[in-house]
Chains A and B, each alone.
Chain A
């Protein structure tokens, strides 16, 4: 019983720690878009190129948050069953 509780607590703490990864992309994307606004303001004729590059860059940056989120979901929904069966 105690072992099961420890496993569940570990999974919950791990999921919480994994979701910390979701903070970074929000800050990074905001910073990137802010800089893109400056770039467009400086050279309005490059708006299309800047927007396209920014979109793809932000999509890549967001993947980090998705990895953390998926890890958190797996730790909450999948890992407890597997680990408690191993006990």
Chain B
């Protein structure tokens, strides 16, 4: 099982983002006065699932990118179906078992996409600024371009 460096890099970034967002979620639970062990276990389960789901998706795509168009489509659709079944198992487990808080299990499912949005916002903030107009020797801006 050889993992592409791109897959590894993106998975690590998503994992860091999901963990940070989970910590924020647990803190918000605590501030609302609803913090207990089920919240913590639920956050752990949901975050672990979100990271594993992203990694499985990325790994399948890495494998699909080496195959033909039709094979790639089929591989991704099969992978999506299997990952949805895994999500169903985790979701039902979080809802049914009393040792998990259902909200703390379900919320981390959308953390990867929130992480991606945040990453894009930060990238936009890091864009290089527009270059200043060249200044002539007498201090005035050169507008004859």
List residues of A whose CB falls within 8 A of some B CB. 22, 25-27, 29-31, 33-34, 36-38, 40, 47-48, 50-52, 54-56, 58-60, 62-63, 65-67, 69-70, 73-74, 77-78
Q: CB within 8 A of A62: which of B57, B75, B96?
A: B57
Please name 15 pairs of A and B residues whose Cβ atoms are closer than 8 Å in the assembled complex, sorted by A.
A26-B77, A26-B84, A29-B80, A33-B75, A34-B72, A34-B73, A51-B4, A52-B9, A52-B10, A54-B61, A54-B65, A55-B61, A62-B57, A63-B113, A69-B91
User: Which residues in B have their C-beta under 8 angstroms from that of A48?
Assistant: 5-6
Query: A33-B73, A51-B6, A60-B116 are known contacts. Are A73 and B65 too (CB-CB below 8 A)?
Result: no
Whole-angstrom CA separation of A70 from B6 in the bound complex: 30
Contact A52 B61 (CB under 8 A): no
- Decide if B25 is an interface residue (CB 8 Å cutoff): no
Type the 1/0 row for B84-99, where 1 means its CB is closer than 8 Å to any CB of A. Answer: 1001100110011000
Closest A-B pairs by Cβ, 8 of them: A30-B73, A26-B80, A63-B113, A77-B95, A34-B69, A30-B76, A30-B77, A33-B72
User: Which residues in B have their C-beta under 8 angstroms from that of A78?
Assistant: 95, 102
Contact B112 A29 (CB under 8 A): no
Closest B residue to A66 using CB positions: B109
User: Inter-chain contact count A-B, CB under 8 Å?
Assistant: 105
Contact B6 A55 (CB under 8 A): yes
For the complex, count residues of B whose C-beta is within 8 A of A: 41
- Decide if B68 is an interface residue (CB 8 Å cutoff): yes
List residues of B whose CB falls within 8 A of some A CB. 4-7, 9-10, 14, 54, 57-58, 61-62, 64-65, 67-70, 72-77, 80-81, 84, 87-88, 91-92, 95-96, 102, 106, 109-110, 112-113, 116, 119
A26-B84, A59-B113 known; 14 new pairs, CB 8 Å cut-off, are A26-B81, A30-B73, A30-B77, A33-B72, A33-B73, A34-B69, A37-B64, A55-B6, A55-B7, A59-B54, A74-B106, A77-B95, A77-B96, A77-B102
Whole-angstrom CA separation of A56 from B113 in the bound complex: 8
